[in-house]
Structure 1
């Protein structure tokens, strides 16, 4: 029976196909001990393959505990093996999905995971309990439907997010979708975005006032704006940099009030280059770009970026996509028709009030699919794909609130759509309201989770859902967001009521607690962060929600928002409301406080592991040298198979790869043309004697020069074997040179201009 690799050959993007083949080889190298764990860890993270926590073969999904038969021997804790089943993150740029892609995701969830798809707060999907040996096949099957996992994790540019209403919003300046799409494509795997000390997140919003893309909490955020120049309307962006949540939240700073659309990609590239060069690498806690912007100040940061922009070689991709932007248009699957007089099933009116948004295109609507805890089963995903084909076509998007929206639904079809959603268990009302609680995975699967964010979210949702339609209107539209630790994956800083997990000791026992954060601003693109109020035992957080919202309803002045209410009554008064709830009972009085939501075991933080959110700091040179080693490894395999020509070619490519890894430390924009690489390498590392062995001198460099100048006329086993061996020695000398440069601090030297030389790249 043919393998998936054989079945899908030629049916995916050629670059993605090659990258997946490379990753499969890297897994083999790691398993055989030929690839350093640190490099492999960052490599797999950049493929979206993430370590996860185990719970003795069980997983609590917020409603019930399900047993995972094939993980019965796994143990919860930090010491899981490198190749133990983990999480696979799947990038969905701007949240855009098609029904065919949803079908593929459903199949993969069933075959390789636990049958559950999780929508993240970055519009991604995550599958859990995926074995690393299955990931290359999973990636190929995704690539065949136009989806990648590349740079879904690690120190890279993560999924580019955008407002899920882009293109249909009644308030937007223009549709940001094609710009988000172009940015994602341009920056994916870009050489200038490979040397970061931490991750980098980008968001697009079509207007300032709404939450949309949450621009203010991003490393780089773009808000659509227009202005008139010489009588002609021009598109551009308000560009913000240096935002971020985490333990130390920062509001983004205005970089440019009007960045012309043609400058979006080159300025993004320039920012990436500056961050890669000047960003912190050693102190992981201060390595996000927000710290660099704060350190330099926005004016100096802007100056450096604009100077960098001037030095960059022109790339036709910067503006190549713009001709198609004006023509970009989604196609509805059905004709528009009003809802007038259509028979409405039971529950429809409540669902319509919270889950339907009328588009600016008359007769069409967006229908939000509420996903409790961001989860849906493979069966539901497949059913939703069929529903989308019928009512929405290819116009499906995930949201940062962990939901899914169907766009371009004819208003007349809404009752039938609701019936179909109810049939597959996806007809809940309350999207975007207080019952639609956002939560990160927390202690379910995250190694850094301290308290059960999902368990608490499920409890709050259950309590509020039972009385939702009796709640005051001012309370219904509040947002609750929960993180399992201080890292803010659940975005608690921008919630009206935010919570993040922590631990306290009562007597000699640990008790799960949550820090309370009040008054964050979801609107105005995450316009303000909330105030930390103190910690409360996890089992009392639902009562916190009730007390705070009741007080808000009783004392609200006119149309006062929750943020205005919090600011008016102040932290001291709010603390008096919470103080009676902060002290937990003794174990003998109520042992339930000493276990977490959905977990009957006594609470402990002894199972915390090493998180992988920050990835590993691996330089571009280290990645390139690891790639050279992989090529030699593949060359050896071809040699063993008797393919001497391919073995020789791979060994030669490996030497060029190792050479370019060193050249890039001095000349970032070097091309990969062999003559250029060899010339630059000769002048910078051979002539200067930077590359040399204590005993062999510069002999190993001669191997590259010889093979470059005199390729073999015929390929024999002896010739190919010799080239493979020489390539390995050359790579070893390149590693030694890199280590020497690092010790001397040479890696931080300013970039030097290209070498202009007329001499041949041969042996002198």
Structure 2
């Protein structure tokens, strides 16, 4: 596969497929050659075996911040062309499904009209840049890094980084709680301070080489430097340049940034990055990170007195056009026409005045997308699952909801569980960093029948990987086993 993808890229840059994309829209799906199916991923169009003839579209929503006008454009695409389906992702993003190539020109135009794109969101490109969902709002924020995350997400698009050895993830946050999961990314920036010539300067510490998929998951390693906020964008460009020019292209399972850092060591890698960066890096300063303390659901005070953000649970991120249209209406009625997406596949309505809170909480939609959900559901994250992904061994979204709801009956409602579920070894559900992590398996019973099961991982977070505790636990035994592991973690 590595050689095939690299050959495809050498023959024709993925960005060059755009004129042909419009030609295929006139000719229909049957006219698209196999290699061009791959190149369409450079514009966020991913063909899935489970839905032959249709595409999934992955958007680019920097820092997960979007307006209600943008949400309504997305809703119109889902409603008119995508069978009303929408998924919120762990990269503060939205994926649409069931799109026909014939409809893509209109889809692109609707998104472009509101300032949205899906360019370079698939295959060997850098993906949506994440940040704190409460950037610019939270009353305990160190500084607002959302403008930096947004600039990086868009400024590096184009041919310069359209041929990376493998996909590349970036998160940039000024939040002390690391809620954008810095160490699960290739580049993770978190708030720091350093005294420079007698002045205390705010900026970032950096972790490099995080990647959770495959058989060798790894959290990002400390790069040992301090960046000013102005240096964040050129630093990302320098890292991407070194990765593009030196990363392995022989074996796709060993082509992420972590493998280059393993081969070279951090010292050599950073020396090469510094050459491209063009000036010496500052040594590390004072980390301003604190322990992560919960989630973004419920009611949160903002910096501006009297205003709050209300976080809504979207179970396993699966939603539809009608729900998101209603969310947009509520954000206009009670907020300021803005929405925020979270790394836990949920959505926030910011800038709600406290005098409107009771009315908002009484809205019918908030009885479905609950701001005060049981603890077993609050930290639930799931990958796409077998219905749309051919790698997945089970319908992870449905099964994880089933397990979480059963678990809710076994533990106190206030006990939040960071439950992360993946359908395969690729770990799109981030099970290696879950307090409880589940990876789908298939189990053959004594009578010869095959049932859904999961490997159980325990004790992970975004500072340490979870430990494998048991293999192939049948779904009907999972909730009880998880409850027992939680009791051990809680010292009971």
TM-score by structure 2 length? 0.87
Larger proportion of helix: 1
Contact 1:30 / 1:37 at 8 angstroms: preserved in 2? no
Match of 1:281 among 235, 249, 255: 249
Measure, in 2, the Cα distance between the counterparts of 1:539 and 1:466: 14
Equivalent residue for 2:42?
A: 46
Report the 3-state secondary structure (helix = DSSP H, G, I; strand = E; otherwise coil) of the residue aligned with 2:442.
strand
Equivalent residue for 1:25?
A: 23
**2:151 is the counterpart of 1:154:** no
Matches within 5 A, 1:154-233: 154-189=123-158, 191-208=159-176, 210-233=177-200
Equivalent residue for 2:464?
A: 528
Measure, in 2, the Cα distance between the counterparts of 1:353 and 1:112: 31
Measure, in 2, the Cα distance between the counterparts of 1:437 and 1:380: 19
CA displacement at 1:228 relative to structure 2: 3.3
Report the 3-state secondary structure (helix = DSSP H, G, I; strand = E; otherwise coil) of the residue aligned with 2:190.
strand
Larger radius of gyration: 1
CA displacement at 1:138 relative to structure 2: 0.9
Report the 3-state secondary structure (helix = DSSP H, G, I; strand = E; otherwise coil) of the residue aligned with 1:481.
strand
> Aligned pair in 2 of structure 1 residues 112, 151: CA closer, same or farther (>3 Å)?
same
Match of 2:34 among 12, 33, 37: 37
Measure, in 2, the Cα distance between the counterparts of 1:305 and 1:552: 41
> Aligned pair in 2 of structure 1 residues 87, 36: CA closer, same or farther (>3 Å)?
closer
Contact 2:120 / 2:162 at 8 angstroms: preserved in 1? no
Matches within 5 A, 1:301-320: 301-310=269-278
Equivalent residue for 1:396?
A: 339
Equivalent residue for 1:511?
A: 451
> Aligned pair in 2 of structure 1 residues 233, 486: CA closer, same or farther (>3 Å)?
same
Equivalent residue for 1:144?
A: 113
Contact 1:88 / 1:130 at 8 angstroms: preserved in 2? yes
Measure, in 1, the Cα distance between the counterparts of 2:249 and 2:227: 29
CA displacement at 1:542 relative to structure 2: 2.0
> Aligned pair in 2 of structure 1 residues 243, 432: CA closer, same or farther (>3 Å)?
farther
Equivalent residue for 1:731?
A: none
> Aligned pair in 2 of structure 1 residues 401, 502: CA closer, same or farther (>3 Å)?
same
Equivalent residue for 2:429?
A: 490
Measure, in 2, the Cα distance between the counterparts of 1:353 and 1:388: 16
> Aligned pair in 2 of structure 1 residues 467, 366: CA closer, same or farther (>3 Å)?
farther
Measure, in 1, the Cα distance between the counterparts of 2:396 and 2:363: 31
Match of 2:56 among 87, 109, 131: 87
Equivalent residue for 2:10?
A: none
Match of 1:548 among 466, 482, 485: 485
Measure, in 2, the Cα distance between the counterparts of 1:255 and 1:353: 29
Aligned Cα root-mean-square deviation (Å): 2.6
Measure, in 1, the Cα distance between the counterparts of 2:409 and 2:82: 32
Measure, in 1, the Cα distance between the counterparts of 2:297 and 2:231: 39
Report the 3-state secondary structure (helix = DSSP H, G, I; strand = E; otherwise coil) of the residue aligned with 2:142.
coil
Contact 1:495 / 1:519 at 8 angstroms: preserved in 2? yes
Structure 1 gaps, min length 5: 1-16, 55-73, 75-79, 312-351, 557-764
Measure, in 1, the Cα distance between the counterparts of 2:108 and 2:301: 37
Matches within 5 A, 1:561-640: none
> Aligned pair in 2 of structure 1 residues 423, 230: CA closer, same or farther (>3 Å)?
closer
Match of 2:475 among 530, 538, 542: 538
Matches within 5 A, 1:305-344: 305-310=273-278
Measure, in 2, the Cα distance between the counterparts of 1:273 and 1:245: 22
Report the 3-state secondary structure (helix = DSSP H, G, I; strand = E; otherwise coil) of the residue aligned with 2:243.
helix
Equivalent residue for 2:5?
A: none
Measure, in 1, the Cα distance between the counterparts of 2:208 and 2:54: 36
Equivalent residue for 1:499?
A: 438
Contact 2:203 / 2:229 at 8 angstroms: preserved in 1? yes
Equivalent residue for 2:290?
A: none
Contact 2:296 / 2:311 at 8 angstroms: preserved in 1? no
Measure, in 2, the Cα distance between the counterparts of 1:51 and 1:518: 34
**2:94 is the counterpart of 1:125:** yes
Measure, in 2, the Cα distance between the counterparts of 1:228 and 1:295: 33
Measure, in 1, the Cα distance between the counterparts of 2:406 and 2:114: 40
Equivalent residue for 1:451?
A: 394
Contact 2:17 / 2:39 at 8 angstroms: preserved in 1? no
**2:395 is the counterpart of 1:481:** no
Measure, in 2, the Cα distance between the counterparts of 1:418 and 1:268: 41
Match of 2:204 among 229, 237, 262: 237
Match of 1:253 among 221, 242, 256: 221
CA displacement at 1:492 relative to structure 2: 0.8
Contact 2:120 / 2:126 at 8 angstroms: preserved in 1? yes
TM-score by structure 1 length? 0.57
Cα deviations by residue, 1:238-285 (Å, 9 ceiling, x for unpaired):
122111101221121222431122222222111111111111112010
Match of 2:264 among 281, 296, 317: 296
Contact 2:297 / 2:312 at 8 angstroms: preserved in 1? no
